[in-house]
Structure 1
Amino acid sequence: MTDAELDTVYTRLCKTMTQVGEANAPMFLARFALLAIEKIGDADVSLKLIDAAGEGASE
């Protein structure tokens, strides 16, 4: 994925979260995560990504 594509995807993610609203953002992100995990199709990769995303998240 190019930097421009990454920017496009991230921008769409942010705009969609704004559209669904703050109250619905956690459910949207959970659904997105499940769809992404299914598409990735590899438990080890998915677990490593979850760990990476969680690093520093509670600080």
Structure 2
Amino acid sequence: MTDAELDAVYTRLCKTMTQLGETNAPLFLARFALLAIGKMDPEASLALIDAASDGVGD
């Protein structure tokens, strides 16, 4: 993915969460994560879970 494509995807993600509202954002992110996991191999999914949790809740 190019930087421009990454920016477009991130912008759409942020705009969608804004449209759905703060209350619905966690459900949207959970659903998005499950759909994305379905497109990846298990090892990549597990690595991303570990990477995303680094530094959260410290």
Band of TM-score, shorter chain: over 0.9
> Superposition RMSD on alpha carbons, in Å?
0.7
* Counterparts of 2:8 and 2:14, CA distance in 1: 10
Displacement of 1:24 in angstroms is 0.4
The number of equivalent residue pairs is 58
Q: TM-score, normalised by structure 2?
A: 0.95
Structure 1 residues not aligned, in runs of 5+: none
1:55 is matched with 54
Moved over 4 A (4+): none
Matched residue SS, 1:19? helix
| Identity within the alignment, % | 74
Displacement of 1:44 in angstroms is 1.1
Structure 2 residues not aligned, in runs of 5+: none
For 2:13, the aligned partner's letter is: L
Q: TM-score, normalised by structure 1?
A: 0.94
